[in-house]
């Protein structure tokens, strides 16, 4: 019956049917069906929303094929339905944008076919309920995205980026296949629901190794440090590809961790690795992003930083917040890429931005103290209203408020007008209030479907302190940057940072990225 069959599971089918029409028409898009790609994406979105409605009415539903380790399961629950609606919405927006963006391209039909097929694979991934189906979807996404990255095959940089992406992405697939095999040997199943139940009894040595490989695969999928290079080089692809990649595909590693949250959280070593690697990636990406002059390249480095922060959230056990981060980042980054042309024109029009208030050391110290006091007051108020918060949640909010402290420092500078001081103080209060409000909302929507925040032990406390101090020091140095920006050594440091400390070049040399042969 249609009332009980998960309608959202039909969304990839609709997209694949439309994709088949265009993959067989590699030339210009036929005018008689110019509306079809956008209409197919809109239909997929409608089916995803219908699936969400069914979940709200009937609860979780799934369709299974085979069993045990070879189980192919499509599932609709709180997490899957959320991600399916998110991908469906972004996919529709991107396809709508592509309709005019590529109008008249000689290979326009092929582009729409590849976009629809890749979007279908992403939707299968987001609705998967078993590890084998996730692996198959990952492979499909990788193959489709590589073709899209090579849409302009004569560009050497596009060929290099596509080669690097394929090596890193499919290395993640291989690692995940080994992890699935180990979990199959240990538990005899690949269904996420069954694996979550098995994790409650603790992990064996084999299961610990499998979880470590799952984390490694997620790191590769999210372009975390030090394999981030391919993500910053995909600007040669058409803008809709960048939007779909940065707004949906790059989040797949985080989705994998959230989907297997019970298993991952049962391994303290895996959680510690996520905190350290995620925090390092977030700080590295944020610092390099500030040195970029090109809008789209800066957005790519911003994605590196955001994915690192999302891995950090997973490592802290803040699973609902990590899912909220994926949703918010996807929406923001899709808009940012699709409107990047307007951003360039807007920046070009700011020929005289006006005076900038440069805070001195005293103002910076006051700003951090004020931001922390305001945040503490807000945390106390929300604790009285909604109950105590976990140490991880408080620590994450502290890291976020360090970024607001930079704005407060501008308002406390000697040259700052009173209005700027007032606005920056209000910004700190607003950021703290928004953080706790969104945290409550995320817990209300997804908290019952994801593991609770773990109780931190000695290792976890050490990592929390290290993370807070690291983010605080970087934010403090950023606030003081105008004071030493004109020092001779700063110019050299800026050049090194703008090149990502040449880590990507080392990876290029390692995989032979500079010697990619011309594609036929």
pLDDT digits (tens, 9 = 90+) for 246-281: 767 888 999 999 999 999 999 999 999 999 999 999
Residue 431 has pLDDT above 80, yes or no: no
Listed in order, strand segments (DSSP E) in 367-507 are none
Using CA atoms, how far residue 471 sits from 73, 281, 457, 461, in Å, is 40, 12, 21, 16
Residues 160 and 279 in one domain: yes
Would residue 193 count as lying in a domain?
yes
Residues 21 and 65 in one domain: yes
Q: What is the mean pLDDT of the chain?
A: 83
Residues 322 and 389 in one domain: no
**Interval 88-130: pLDDT, tens:** 999 999 998 888 887 777 788 888 889 999 999 999 999 999 9
Structure tokens at 262: 């019970």
The mean per-residue pLDDT over the stretch 196-211 comes to 90
Residue 478 pLDDT: 77
Residue 343 has pLDDT above 60, yes or no: no
**Interval 271-312: pLDDT, tens:** 999 999 999 999 888 888 877 777 777 888 888 888 999 999
Residues 378 and 458 in one domain: yes
Distance CA 430, CA 3 (A): 43
pTM of the entire predicted model:
0.88
Element (H, E) at 242: helix 239-247
Q: Which residues of 399-424 are buried (b: 16+ CB within 10 A; e: fewer)?
A: bbbbbbbbbbbbbbbeebeeebbebb
Range of the domain at 117: 1-129
Which position has the higher pLDDT, 170 or 348? 170
Residues 375 and 445 in one domain: yes
- Helices (H) and strands (E) counted in the chain, each on its own, are 21, 2
Residues 217 and 288 in one domain: yes
Residues 252 and 314 in one domain: yes
Would residue 498 count as lying in a domain?
no
Residues 106 and 31 in one domain: yes
Would residue 405 count as lying in a domain?
yes
pLDDT category of residue 341 using cuts at 50, 70 and 90: low
Residue among 83, 79, 70, 166 nearest 123 (CA) = 83
Would residue 506 count as lying in a domain?
no
Distance CA 210, CA 269 (A): 12
The phi and psi torsions of 107 (rounded to 5 degrees) equal: -115, 35
Residues 281 and 391 in one domain: no
Distance CA 45, CA 86 (A): 9
Residue 446 pLDDT: 93
Distance CA 165, CA 2 (A): 40
Residue 32 has pLDDT above 60, yes or no: no
The mean per-residue pLDDT over the stretch 10-24 comes to 86
Residue 233 pLDDT: 77
Would residue 500 count as lying in a domain?
no
Domain end, chosen from 291, 311, 338, is at: 338
Would residue 112 count as lying in a domain?
yes
Residues 404 and 434 in one domain: yes
> 467 near 275, Cβ under 8 Å?
yes
Residue 66 pLDDT: 81
Domain end, chosen from 338, 364, 379, is at: 338
Would residue 279 count as lying in a domain?
yes
Residues 334 and 366 in one domain: no
DSSP 53-118: HHHHHH--EEEEES-GGG-EEEEESHHHHHHHHHHHHHHHHHHHHHHHHTTT-TTHHHHHHHHHHH
Residues 243 and 367 in one domain: no
Would residue 295 count as lying in a domain?
yes
Residue 424 pLDDT: 67
Kindly state the percentage of the chain with pLDDT values over 90. Answer: 35
**Interval 455-503: pLDDT, tens:** 888 888 999 999 989 888 888 887 777 666 666 666 677 777 777 677 7
The mean per-residue pLDDT over the stretch 51-73 comes to 87
Which position has the higher pLDDT, 513 or 180? 180
Residue 312 pLDDT: 94
| Total structural domains within the chain | 3
Domain end, chosen from 338, 371, 392, is at: 338
* Other CB atoms within 10 Å distance of the CB of residue 262: 18
């Amino acid at each position: 019956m249609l009332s009980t069959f998960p309608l959202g599971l039909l969304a990839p089918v609709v997209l694949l049917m439309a994709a088949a029409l265009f993959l067989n028409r590699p030339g210009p898009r036929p005018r008689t069906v110019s509306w079809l790609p956008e209409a197919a994406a809109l239909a997929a979105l409608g089916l995803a929303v219908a699936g969400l409605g069914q979940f709200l009415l009937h609860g979780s539903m799934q369709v299974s094929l085979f069993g045990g380790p070879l189980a192919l399961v499509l599932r609709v629950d709180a997490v899957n339905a959320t991600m399916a609606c998110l991908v469906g919405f972004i996919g529709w927006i991107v396809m709508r944008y592509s309709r005019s963006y590529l109008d008249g391209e000689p290979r326009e039909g092929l582009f729409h076919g590849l976009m629809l097929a890749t979007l279908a694979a992403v939707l299968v991934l987001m609705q998967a309920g078993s590890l084998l189906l996730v692996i198959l979807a990952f492979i499909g996404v990788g193959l489709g995205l590589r073709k899209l990255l090579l849409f302009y095959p004569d560009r050497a940089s596009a060929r290099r980026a596509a080669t690097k992406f394929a090596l890193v992405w499919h290395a993640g697939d291989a690692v995940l296949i080994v992890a699935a095999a180990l979990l199959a040997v240990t538990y005899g199943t690949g269904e996420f629901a069954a694996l979550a139940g098995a994790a409650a009894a603790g992990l064996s040595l084999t299961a610990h190794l499998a979880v470590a490989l799952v984390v490694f695969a997620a790191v590769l999928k999210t372009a975390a440090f030090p394999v981030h290079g391919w993500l910053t080089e995909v600007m040669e692809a058409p803008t809709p590809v960048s939007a779909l990649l940065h707004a949906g595909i790059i989040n797949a590693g985080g989705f994998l961790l959230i989907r297997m949250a019970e298993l991952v959280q049962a391994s303290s070593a895996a959680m510690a690795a996520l905190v350290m690697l995620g925090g390092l990636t977030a700080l590295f990406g944020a610092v390099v992003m500030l040195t970029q002059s090109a809008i789209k390249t800066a957005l790519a480095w911003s994605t590196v930083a955001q994915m690192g922060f999302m891995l950090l959230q997973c490592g802290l056990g803040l699973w609902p917040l990590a899912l909220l981060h994926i949703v918010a980042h996807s929406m923001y980054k899709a808009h940012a890429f699709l409107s990047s042309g307007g951003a360039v024109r807007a920046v070009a029009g700011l020929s005289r931005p006006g005076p900038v208030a440069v805070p001195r050391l005293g103002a910076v110290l006051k700003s951090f103290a004020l931001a922390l006091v305001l945040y503490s007051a807000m945390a106390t108020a929300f604790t009285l209203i909604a109950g105590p918060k976990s140490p991880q949640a408080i620590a994450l909010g502290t890291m976020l408020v360090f970024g607001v402290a930079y704005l407060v420092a501008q308002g406390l500078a000697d040259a700052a007008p009173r209005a700027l001081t007032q606005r920056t103080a209000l910004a700190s209060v607003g950021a703290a209030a928004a953080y706790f409000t969104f945290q409550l909302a995320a817990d209300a929507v997804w908290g019952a479907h994801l593991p609770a925040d773990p109780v931190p032990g000695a290792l976890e406390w050490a990592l929390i302190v290290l993370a807070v101090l690291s983010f605080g020091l970087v934010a403090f140095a950023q606030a003081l940057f105008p004071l030493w920006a004109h020092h001779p050594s700063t110019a050299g440091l800026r050049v090194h940072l703008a090149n990502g400390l040449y880590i990507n070049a080392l990876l290029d040399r390692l995989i032979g990225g500079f010697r990619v042969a011309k594609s036929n």
